[in-house]
Amino acid sequence: MMAAERGAARNTLDAYRRDLVDFAGFLKRRGRALEAADATNIRDYLAAIRGAGNKAATSARRLSTLRQFYAFLLAEKVRDDDPAHIIDAPRKGQALPKYLGEEEVERLIAAARAQEGADGLRTVALVELLYATGLRVSELVGLKLTNIARDGQTVTVIGKGSKERMVPLSDPARDAVSAWLAGRDGPKKGPGTGFLFPSGARAGHIPRAAFNDLLKVLAAAAGIDPARVSPHVLRHSFASHMLAHGADLRSLQQLLGHADISTTQIYTHVLDERLKRLVEQHHPLAKL
- Give the H or E element holding residue 62: helix 56-75
Q: Is 136 known to be catalytic?
A: yes
The catalytic residue among 122, 236, 241, 258 is 258
Instruction: State yes or no: is 258 an active-site residue.
Output: yes
Active site residue 32: no
Burial level of 191, CB count in 10 A (0-12/13-18/19+)?
middle
Which residue in 62, 107, 136, 236 is the catalytic one? 136
Q: Which of 32, 208, 232, 274 is catalytic?
A: 232
From the candidates 70, 99, 131, 267, which is the catalytic residue?
Answer: 267
Phi first, then psi: what are they for 257, rounded to 5°? 75, 30
Residue 227: strand, helix, or coil: helix
- Four-point Cα dihedral 255, 256, 261, 267, nearest 10: -110
- Clarify whether 67 is annotated catalytic: no
Active-site residue (options: 62, 205, 235, 241) = 235
DSSP label of 114: T
CB 205 within 8 A of CB 198: yes
- The number of beta carbons lying within 10 Å of the beta carbon of residue 176 is 25
Q: Which of these is catalytic: 85, 160, 228, 250?
A: 160
* Active-site annotation, residues: 136, 160, 232, 235, 258, 267
